Amino acid sequence: MRFLLGVLVGYTVRGKQKLPIKVLVTLLVVSVLLSAVVLPGIALLALHLDVQRERRSRPAQTKVPLVKGLAYEDAEMKLHTANLNIRLLATHYDPAFQHGLVIDQSPAPGEEVAVGYSVGVTVNKKDYAGPGP
């Protein structure tokens, strides 16, 4: 670029040959346009395509519904409707809940997880077994 500018100034100062001046001005304008417009445009296009490819490679996401307080069967149906699986983590006695109801879930409601993810639940058992003998 400096070379073209130097040759252009040299020919302009001498002012004898008009054709090389026109060619050099054209080359200078083309090189400025190329470096200022075309190359950044190509870089942005490449970045755009890369972002699209990365987004397509991610697994589909879904929100975890609230299943706490539901019967195990109802929770299972609600999770399957949301394209999620259910996994029984534990049974626990809690007198505040009826037997067979989900008393805890993980991950929490509203969290985004991959489609097909297993939601762990804790179900209230019938009665307190108490400590062993």
- Please give the domain boundaries of the chain with CATH numbers for all domains: 2-57 (no CATH), 61-124 (3.30.10.20)
pLDDT tens by residue, 13-28: 666 666 666 776 777 7
Give dist(CA 100, CA 94) in Å, integer.
Answer: 11
Say if CB 124 and CB 99 are below 8 A apart: yes
Q: What is the DSSP string of 69-117?
A: TSBHHHHHHHHHHTT-EEEEEEEE--TTS-TTBEEEEESPTT-EEETTP
Q: What is the mean pLDDT of the chain?
A: 84
Q: How confident is the model at residue 132 (pLDDT cuts 50, 70, 90)?
A: very low
Q: Which is more confident, 11 or 89? A: 89
| 3-class secondary structure, 133 | coil
Instruction: Output the six-digit token pair for 40.
Output: 């950044």
Per residue in 25-73, pLDDT (tens digit) is 777 777 777 777 777 888 889 999 999 999 888 888 999 999 999 999 9
Q: Check residue 15 and report its DSSP letter.
A: -
Q: Which two tokens stand for residue 77?
A: 């149906």
